[in-house]
Structure 1
Amino acid sequence: MRMAVLCAAESWYFRDLVRAAADDYVLTPFSFTQLTANLEVHKRPEISVGTTDLRAFPAVLVRTMPPGSLEQVIFRMNALARLQSSGVLVVNPPRSIEIAVDKHLTCALLQEAGLRVPPTIVCQTFDEAMHGFCQLGGDVVVKPLYGGEGRGIMRVSDEAVAWRTFKTLIQLRAIIYQQPFLPHHGYDLRLFVLGDHIFAMRRRHPDDWRTNISRGAIAEPADLDDHLVEVARRATRLVGAMMAGVDILPAQDGQHYVLEVNAVPGWKALSQTLQLDIARLALQHISQLASKR
């Protein structure tokens, strides 16, 4: 089966996919920045990269989401939507990527469906930010609305520091996204949802409240109960993803909070921790989905 992969061709993930593909799948890497749309121009394909018609591929795997201007991001998502509407299987669908990349929208949909998420305040003004800081108990985690791997996340528990932090963010024309710091046991859970299968690891950091692998956390296999499995499946369905990474924090208050849903999930640490070929399983899952279309 042929499959297009939107990715950095030199990335570890594409190399791992090629390894896993062996002789069963033919993978072709493409860059988001090379996407072109054509409408009735010299019979060129509507969505292409160079002379390659992306509609010729049964499936397109989105393996990266590079930063860009508002115009670039909207165009890229619309191009994926046009591919999807032409019958190409896009994993994950563009709407699910749009939802998952927005922490506020993701949390709002999860909360609306009855899943537990941290109390959250999202605002655009300094006064609202300071008011929210007090409402949330004066000990908050400030996150970029978009972004992952722990980049740009900070804990603020001092009013003077909050004042300087929010002033700076407002000057940068940033959205202020804050949640209360939730005391936990030094780890969170990453549940990788792939169709009917769920693979889980515990991410533990002995020296930092942030548990991202990119920040030095230690990955360990994790056992799941039926409740966590159902939470991960529901969260994945709510954002419309076929493959997702669901981050859950077991807090000291005994509750499990869904922190976010990643629609372009990595699997490097997960594969190494569980000794599973996640890349191969992902290719098989995508192939099965494409064969049903």
Structure 2
Amino acid sequence: MADSPLIVLLGNDDDDDDHRVLFDGVRRCGGRPRRVHPDELVTEVTAEATRFLVDGRDLAPDLMFGWVYEDYLILGMNQLETARLAGIPVVNSAMTLLRGQSKYLNSALLHRAKVPHLPVLWGRDEDTLAAWTAERGYPMVTKPLMSSRGRGMHRLTDEASVRHHARGIGPGPEQYYVQPYVPARHRDTRVLCVNYQAVAAVERVAPEGTWISNAPGNTRHRAELTPELRAIAEQAAESMDALFAGVDLACDEQTGQWCVYEVNTCPTCTATFRELGTDPVPLTELASFLVAAALDFDGARRDWRPATTL
């Protein structure tokens, strides 16, 4: 193991600002960061060994960190799992990233772990959806199975809108994913967790004229990381095996109860914390954890604790 461990982030440059902050933190902690695009990585698998190459040169990471989603999710998952099978420690593994992208798996895992979460229905059958929503009441919210930043979300307010949505589902494997609407004053809270431990919380308020709190143009504020919020978020992150996670929650204004919407496994935060006038603490804490995990993966999982929380 090198004294200055090589930490490879597998991802593209869509979240470049976050990667720069993370890499600065890795260097301060004594590590060597490098981003490798999934298209750049060449893998040789033989009976003797697995090799990774970039530009024809061997790449020997001490740890790989997965930051792939949407178009590069499946390719990146294969590469991360191959690295894990080759004995390289992986943070946010192939299955973790799939769980974070798939609202199917998000819901199944959250309910399995007894995390407060909404009932959901997914599938294609129109009549089943109409009966389910009528029984539970309106409004309902529908989301694409794999999306981010509020894209493709709609409110369903009656049976006609439910049936219209079901009939609009395209061919192939696309399905509906529907859950009750939470009256939360058009706001939610994202809790950032590292090694299943909450380090910061941010409240997000929907832009004027919309109810989607994570849509572009939303307003963000520091949120208090209360013991209740911390406990729910940490349990949610652990249910996904997400060593870096953004847990999205809302507080029902009618019941006062928190529920988790979903767990994001590639959460951006640099722009948010700059807007709030503070350092992006989740990324500096993540850098500390990644270097510790590159040097001793099991020990870091067991013993690492954040130095700062917001």
TM-score band, normalised by the shorter chain?
0.7 to 0.9
Correspondence for 1:51 among 50, 53, 56: 56
Q: 1:39 Cα deviation (Å)? A: 2.5
Equivalent-residue separation in structure 1 for 2:240 and 2:93 (angstroms):
10
After superposition, the C-alpha distances for 1:234-291 in whole angstroms (9 at most, x for unaligned) are: 1111111111110111112211110001111111244222612333322111101221
Compare 257-266 and 100-109 and name the one that shifted more. 100-109
Instruction: Give the aligned partner of residue 280 of structure 1.
Output: 284
Structure-2 change in CA distance of 1:82 and 1:44 (3 Å): closer
Equivalent-residue separation in structure 2 for 1:130 and 1:49 (angstroms):
52
> Which amino acid is the alignment partner of residue 147 of structure 1?
S
Structure-2 change in CA distance of 1:152 and 1:287 (3 Å): same
Equivalent-residue separation in structure 2 for 1:128 and 1:37 (angstroms):
45
> Which amino acid is the alignment partner of residue 229 of structure 1?
R
Compare 233-242 and 266-275 and name the one that shifted more. 266-275
Equivalent-residue separation in structure 1 for 2:77 and 2:88 (angstroms):
14
Q: Secondary structure at the match of 2:145?
A: coil
Would the aligned equivalents of 2:7 and 2:294 in 1 still touch at CA under 8 Å? no
> Structure 2, unaligned stretches of length 5 or more?
298-310
Would the aligned equivalents of 2:7 and 2:64 in 1 still touch at CA under 8 Å? yes
Matches within 5 A, 1:251-262: 251-252=252-253, 253-262=255-264
Instruction: Give the aligned partner of residue 16 of structure 1.
Output: 21
Structure-2 change in CA distance of 1:77 and 1:64 (3 Å): closer
After superposition, the C-alpha distances for 1:45-74 in whole angstroms (9 at most, x for unaligned) are: 5344442444x1112222232415xxx71x
Matches within 5 A, 1:84-99: 84-99=84-99
Equivalent-residue separation in structure 1 for 2:104 and 2:70 (angstroms):
20
Structure-2 change in CA distance of 1:66 and 1:113 (3 Å): closer
Structure-2 change in CA distance of 1:30 and 1:216 (3 Å): same
1:35 aligns with 2:11: no
Q: 1:25 Cα deviation (Å)? A: 3.7
Would the aligned equivalents of 1:221 and 1:274 in 2 still touch at CA under 8 Å? no
Q: Secondary structure at the match of 2:79?
A: helix
TM-score (norm 1): 0.87
Equivalent-residue separation in structure 1 for 2:107 and 2:93 (angstroms):
19
Equivalent-residue separation in structure 1 for 2:40 and 2:127 (angstroms):
42
Q: 1:211 Cα deviation (Å)? A: 0.6
Q: Secondary structure at the match of 1:264?
A: coil
Would the aligned equivalents of 2:66 and 2:80 in 1 still touch at CA under 8 Å? no
Would the aligned equivalents of 1:191 and 1:246 in 2 still touch at CA under 8 Å? yes
1:235 aligns with 2:240: no
Equivalent-residue separation in structure 1 for 2:296 and 2:285 (angstroms):
17
Instruction: Give the aligned partner of residue 226 of structure 1.
Output: 227
After superposition, the C-alpha distances for 1:161-182 in whole angstroms (9 at most, x for unaligned) are: 3222211114464111001111
Structure 1 vs Structure 2: percent identity of aligned residues? 23
Structure-2 change in CA distance of 1:94 and 1:53 (3 Å): farther
Q: 1:19 Cα deviation (Å)? A: 4.2
Structure-2 change in CA distance of 1:77 and 1:67 (3 Å): same
Structure-2 change in CA distance of 1:178 and 1:153 (3 Å): same
Equivalent-residue separation in structure 2 for 1:186 and 1:110 (angstroms):
23
Would the aligned equivalents of 1:200 and 1:270 in 2 still touch at CA under 8 Å? no
Instruction: Give the aligned partner of residue 65 of structure 1.
Output: 69
Instruction: Give the aligned partner of residue 148 of structure 1.
Output: 148
After superposition, the C-alpha distances for 1:87-123 in whole angstroms (9 at most, x for unaligned) are: 3222212221122222122222211222211111111
Structure-2 change in CA distance of 1:197 and 1:136 (3 Å): closer
Would the aligned equivalents of 2:11 and 2:37 in 1 still touch at CA under 8 Å? yes
Higher relative contact order (CA 8 A, sep 6+): 2
After superposition, the C-alpha distances for 1:8-46 in whole angstroms (9 at most, x for unaligned) are: 2473223333444456443222112333332239x9953
Equivalent-residue separation in structure 1 for 2:68 and 2:76 (angstroms):
12
After superposition, the C-alpha distances for 1:149-199 in whole angstroms (9 at most, x for unaligned) are: 111111121332322221111446411100111111231110000134421
TM-score (norm 2): 0.83
Instruction: Give the aligned partner of residue 213 of structure 2.
Output: 211
Instruction: Give the aligned partner of residue 307 of structure 2.
Output: none
Root-mean-square deviation (CA, aligned residues, Å) is: 2.4
Would the aligned equivalents of 1:116 and 1:257 in 2 still touch at CA under 8 Å? yes
